[in-house]
Chain A
Amino acid sequence: MRKPLLTLFLLAGLLPAGGPAALAATGPAVDSGDTAFIILCTALVMLMTPALAFFYGGMVRQKNVLSTMMHSFIAIALVSLIWVLYGYSLAFGPDIKGLIGAPSAIGLKGVSMLPNETYAATIPELVFVAFQLMFAIITTAIISGAYAERMRFTAFLLFSALWVSVVYLPLAHWVWGDGGWLRQLGALDFAGGTVVHISSGVSGLVAALVLGRRKGLKSQPPLPHNLPFTVLGASLLWFGWFGFNAGSALGSNGLAAMAFLVTNTAAATAALAWLLAEWLHHGKPTVLGAASGAVAGLVAITPAAGFVTPLASLLIGLGGGLLCYLAVAVLKQRLGYDDALDAFGCHGVGGMWGALATGLFATKTVNELGADGLLYGNPHQLLVQLIGVAATIVFAALATWLLLKLVGLLTELRVSPEEEEMGLDITVHGEKAYRENLSGSPLPGTSGSLLAQAGATSLSH
Chain B
Amino acid sequence: MKKIEVIIRPGKLEEVKAALSKYGIRGMTVSEVAGCGLQKGKKEVYRGNEYTIDLLPKVKVEIVVGQERVAELVDLLVATTRTGQIGDGKIFIYPVEDAVRIRTGERGLTALGESGQ
Residue ranges of A at the interface with B (Cβ–Cβ < 8 Å)? 221, 223-224, 277-278, 281-282, 284, 286, 288-289, 292, 325, 328-330, 333, 342, 437, 439, 441, 443-448, 450-451, 454, 456-461
Which residues of B from 1 to 60 have beta carbons under 8 Å from A? 10, 13-14, 17, 26-34, 44-51, 53, 55-57, 59
Known interface pairs A328-B47, A342-B47, A445-B56; 10 further A-B residue pairs with C-beta atoms within 8 A, sorted by A's residue number: A329-B48, A437-B32, A444-B34, A444-B53, A444-B55, A445-B34, A447-B32, A450-B32, A450-B59, A461-B64
Q: Which residues of A contact B27 (CB under 8 A)?
A: 459-461
Chain A residues whose CB sits within 8 angstroms of the CB of B31 once the complex forms: 439, 451
Q: Kindly report which residue of chain A lies nearest to residue B99, judged by CB atoms.
A: A461
B71 interfacial by beta-carbon distance below 8 Å: no
- Other-chain residue from B34, B46, B111 in contact with A288 (beta carbon distance below 8 A): B46
Docked-complex contact A448 and B32, CB < 8 angstroms: yes
Query: What is the bound-complex CA distance between A456 and B25, given in angstroms?
Result: 14
> Is B53 in contact with A454, judged by CB distance below 8 angstroms?
no
19 A-B contact pairs sorted by A residue (CB < 8 Å): A221-B51, A223-B44, A223-B46, A281-B48, A282-B48, A284-B45, A286-B45, A289-B47, A441-B33, A443-B32, A443-B55, A444-B53, A445-B56, A446-B57, A450-B57, A454-B14, A458-B30, A459-B27, A460-B102
B residues less than 8 Å from A284 (CB atoms): 45
Quick one: which of A221, A330, A333, A450 contacts B10, CB cutoff 8 A?
Answer: A450
Of the candidates B30, B32, B112, B113, the one whose C-beta lies within 8 Å of that of A441 is B32
Q: Of all chain A residues, which has the CB nearest B114?
A: A461
Say whether, besides A282-B48, A286-B46, A461 and B30 are in contact (CB < 8 Å).
no
B29, B30, B31, B48 — most chain A CB neighbours (10 Å): B48
A446 CB contacts on chain B under 8 angstroms: 32-34, 57
Contacts of A221 in B (CB 8 A): 51, 53
Nearest to A227 among chain B residues (CB) is B46
A461 to B111, CA, bound (A): 7
Let me know if B29 and A459 touch, CB within 8 A.
yes
Residue pair A333, B49 in contact (C-beta under 8 Å) = yes
Residues of B near A451 (CB, < 8 A) are 30-32
Residue of A288, A328, A445, A448 most packed against chain B (CB within 10 A): A445
A41 to chain B, nearest CB (A): 30
Bound Cα distance A459, B113 (Å): 12
- Assess whether A288 is in contact with B47, with CB atoms less than 8 Å apart: yes
| A224 CB contacts on chain B under 8 angstroms | 46
Cα A116 to Cα B33 with chains together (Å): 63
Separation of A281 and B46 alpha carbons in the complex (Å): 12
Choose from A286, A289, A456 the contact partner of B30 (Cβ within 8 Å).
Answer: A456
Contacts of B53 in A (CB 8 A): 221, 223, 444
* B103 and A460 form a contact (CB under 8 A): yes
Which of A292, A444, A450, A460 is in CB contact (< 8 Å) with B47?
A: A292
Q: Is B101 an interface residue (CB 8 A)?
A: yes
The answer for the CA separation of A45 and B17 in the assembled complex, in Å, is 51
**Set A277, A448, A454: member contacting B13, Cβ < 8 A:** A454
Set of chain A residues within 8 Å of B29, measured between Cβ atoms = 458-459
Least CB distance from B69 to A in Å reads 13
Please give me the residue from chain A that is nearest to B48 by CB atom.
A329
B103 (CB) vs chain A CBs: closest residue = A460
Q: Are B13 and A450 closer than 8 Å at their CB atoms? A: yes
Residues of B within 8 A of A457 (CB): 30
Task: Give Cα distance in the complex from A441 to B32, angstroms.
Answer: 9
> In the complex, what distance in Å separates the CA atom of A281 from the CA atom of B17?
41
Contacts of B112 in A (CB 8 A): 461
Instruction: Tell whether, in the assembled complex, residue B46 and residue A461 are in contact, meaning their CB atoms are under 8 Å apart.
Output: no
Q: In the complex, what distance in Å separates the CA atom of A221 from the CA atom of B47? A: 13
A360 to B27, CA, bound (A): 71
Scoring B27, B45, B113 by chain A CB atoms within 10 A of each residue's CB, the highest score goes to B45
Residues of A within 8 A of B101 (CB): 460-461
Which of B26, B47, B99, B103 lies in contact with A329, CB distance below 8 A? B47
Cβ of B12 to closest chain A Cβ, rounded Å: 11
Measured between alpha carbons, how far is A292 from B53 in the docked complex, in Å?
22
Q: With A444-B34, A450-B32 known to touch, is A459 a contact of B45 (CB < 8 Å)?
A: no
Smallest beta-carbon distance B76→chain A, Å: 18
A454-B13 Cα distance, complex, nearest whole Å: 8
Name B45's closest neighbour in chain A (CB-CB). A282
CA distance A292 to B46 in the complex (A): 10
Provide the bound-state CA to CA distance between A282 and B32, in Å. Answer: 30
Q: What residues on B are CB-neighbors of A328 within 8 Å?
A: 47-49
